[in-house]
């Protein structure tokens, strides 16, 4: 299934009008693909072709939208390194990175429309909107302010949770809402872990620019001396534990999720 999603992205990329203008574009799209990997891990094993096609397009659209958000974020943060190579705006120009991100968001919607399911597209739009609003709120309203822990947690959830949640909604028909919440919890944990990395990590090991949150006065649960009763790592563990607990009616999926948490989140270098 993972190979199927990658092939869909490769086919799409080969037809992309801007492909020849962006060096090493493929490297940006095929990153960790954690959102797709989690969906593939938790999907129904007995699935027909219609189900597989719908999930494939949902995952591919999610990966494209995520890449678009990275192009925008790197310009906003002034980040020069991503996945061990120059960010798109450094390799080209800020304008090129912003416009390419805009184009990719449109492409993610066009690709998902291939399901022929209007409800899928509408749900995806709402998820992307949630991400964009959280980013705008943090940048325009909250930068430079020490916010309550509940607000910092909500920002982390809304920035990263929606694009983890969306493909999971296609995985098990009888547990859509449960898996959607699992996606939000895992996405929140991953964002918090990334916030910790930004404060304490090593750029060479991480392969990306760090320290931008403190430099730009973007307060998170990981900011040193922030007035929070629990550290960011405590919140990471809480989110992961809740996600795993939600899958208790499905023991095999629960075990798979725990393995994902242990490998992709708990052991993420900070």
For residue 161, give Cα distances in angstroms to 23, 80, 128: 30, 25, 10
User: Over the range 237-259, which residues count as b (16 or more CB within 10 Å of their CB) and which as e?
Assistant: bbbbebbbebbeebeebbebbbe
Label residue 136 exposed, middle or buried (CB < 10 Å: 0-12, 13-18, 19+).
exposed
97-139 pLDDT, tens per residue? 999 999 999 999 999 998 888 999 999 999 999 999 999 999 9
Q: Residue 250 pLDDT more than 50? A: yes
Cα separation, 218 vs 144, in Å, equals 6
Judge contact between 65 and 165, C-beta under 8 A.
no
The structure tokens 């593939």 sit at 40
Domain count, the chain: 1
Rg (CA), the chain: 18
Residue among 190, 193, 198, 195 nearest 163 (CA): 190
Residue 221: strand pairing partners: none
**CATH number reported for the structural domain that contains residue 215 in this entry:** 1.10.600.10
User: Mean per-residue pLDDT for 145-162?
Assistant: 93
State the average pLDDT for the chain. Answer: 89
State the residue range of the domain holding 139.
Answer: 2-266
Q: How many Cβ atoms sit within 10 Å of the Cβ of residue 197?
A: 19
Q: Where are the beta strands (DSSP E) in the chain?
A: 81-82, 85-86
User: Mean per-residue pLDDT for 78-105?
Assistant: 90
201-237 pLDDT, tens per residue? 888 888 898 888 888 888 888 876 665 656 788 999 9
At 141 the pLDDT is 93
DSSP-derived letter for residue 31 is: S
Give percent of the chain with pLDDT exceeding 70: 91
């Amino acid at each position: 299934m993972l190979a199927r999603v990658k092939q869909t992205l490769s086919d799409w990329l080969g037809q992309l009008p801007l492909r020849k203008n962006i060096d090493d574009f493929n490297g940006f799209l095929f990153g960790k693909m954690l959102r797709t990997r989690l969906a593939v891990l938790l999907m129904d094993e007995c699935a027909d072709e219609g189900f597989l096609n719908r999930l494939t397009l949902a995952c591919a659209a999610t990966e494209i939208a995520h890449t678009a958000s990275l192009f925008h974020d790197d310009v906003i943060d002034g980040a020069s390194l991503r996945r061990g190579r120059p960010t798109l705006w450094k390799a080209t120009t800020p304008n090129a990175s912003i416009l390419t991100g805009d184009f990719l968001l449109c492409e993610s919607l066009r690709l998902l429309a291939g399901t022929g399911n209007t409800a899928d597209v509408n749900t995806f739009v709402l998820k992307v909107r949630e991400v964009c609003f959280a980013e705008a709120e943090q940048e325009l309203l909250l930068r430079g302010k020490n916010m309550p822990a509940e607000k910092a947690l909500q920002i982390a959830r809304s920035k990263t949770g929606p694009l983890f949640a969306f493909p999971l909604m296609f995985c098990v028909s009888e547990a859509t809402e449960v898996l959607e919440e699992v996606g939000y919890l895992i996405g929140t944990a991953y964002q918090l872990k990334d916030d910790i990395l930004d404060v304490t990590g090593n750029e060479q090991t991480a392969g990306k620019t760090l320290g931008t949150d403190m430099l730009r006065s973007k307060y998170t649960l990981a900011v040193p001396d922030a007035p929070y009763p629990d550290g960011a790592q405590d919140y990471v563990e809480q989110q992961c534990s809740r996600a795993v607990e939600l899958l208790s009616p499905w023991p095999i999926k629960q075990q798979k999720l725990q393995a994902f948490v242990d490998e992709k989140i708990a052991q993420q270098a900070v």
